[in-house]
Structure 1
Amino acid sequence: MKYYVLLLAVLLSVGTGSAQAQRKSKVKIKNGGAPVSAANRLQPLFGGISVAQAEALVGAAFLADIDRSFSSRPEASKFFSTKGYEYFTEGKIDTARYRFNLAWLLDQKNPDAYRGLGVISSSNPTPDESISLLIQGLTVDPNNALMLSDLGASYLIRYQQTQKKKDLEQAMTYLQQATTAAPTNAQTWQDLARGYYYQGEYPKAWEAVHKGQNLNIASVDIEFIGELQAKLPDPQGMFK
């Protein structure tokens, strides 16, 4: 699982099949009828409450300050999602989560609100919540390369846990779309290599490894290289 910690590193550098996956896999986060409280501030998307409930939670005074300080709420949303990433990289997870929630509240079409929350949720024991959030992000920005990459990596994590072929297929679909949308993302190539490894496509796995290596040598996971070498020696002879 050490390999998949690199999913978080993507934050620092994600067709028909995709649309079908979104319809089948989307799992909305629900409040379940529980009373709205301050605790909702630190739950992804405010715990699934409505926009109106979330507005009431943050307060009319806060929203009035936003409207005075920014030319539009989408502009304010981008500000808060940017701050969310900054707090995340500083390790201030609760603060980052609340900033991403505010970004969502101010603009439900801001993909970074969903992606930021999805990346934070990737540290959960299972990737289900992260997958749900990232899929919702793709509904507003279907060609977001970082979102596609993160989602593919999340499905790889779930495949490792479930060993279900459909999870691996979803992972490969998203990762291949991500490399098409952003072919210079080294980490996506390494995740794709891992997917090919699981499929037993070892020559393709090596090809993806080298593509990622050529972009950024730091993206190479030496532990994975050892696993791949045990199946097929490096055809290029660079790893021995």
Structure 2
Amino acid sequence: MNDDLPDISRLASLLADPGRSRMLLALLDGRMLPASDLARAANLSAQAASNHLARLLDGGVLRVESRGRYRYYTLADSQMAHAIEALACAAHGTSMLRPTLRPKGDPELRLARTCYRHLAGQLGTRLCEAMQAQGYLQRQDGNVFLLTRSGARWLEQALGVDSGQLAGKACLDWSERRDHLAGALGEAICHAFLTQALVSRRPGRRSLLITAQGRQFLQQQLGLAL
């Protein structure tokens, strides 16, 4: 056996339990949640949820922070989020029920949502494609997206984002089966959309509301009608 190969079976075993997978999907929007919220998302008792969370922490799938009397859980990093999103894409054709998500045909979820800390759904995929069509974004070496000079200027003028050396990554969208923009660049754009009220969060859900201001921005800046 080649000891240099990563032990994906260990990670797979942690993700295989339905309760644990439901908690991980509930964290896929990048939030930090207490154990009580995760227990409800997975339909588990407090004790069962605590046991599952301990295993996920030991396995490096989650990290936890203490805030006063409470402990808040979140995904370990963006790579873990990408892995879970990819598995959700592969499982999209099944009848698996997802925590805080309606069935796969939910129009709100498919229109706009967060995937960890970047924009996903039709909003995310069409934004990524429109930026490429405008010459703002270029795909390099498979899954890497780089801003062009005109893209960096547009990002600063239109969204107030100082792109610096930010690069993006392609993330396969589970509902659209096309790529949306992830990585540091995707996170910066998502943050700008939220802080400038182009989109707003729906309480307790991953789906986003595209505001009237956001629809106007997309139409005027990129010719997108959503």
TM-score, normalization by structure 1:
0.24
* Structure with the greater alpha carbon radius of gyration: 1
TM-score, normalization by structure 2:
0.25
Larger strand proportion of the pair: 2
Larger helix proportion of the pair: 1
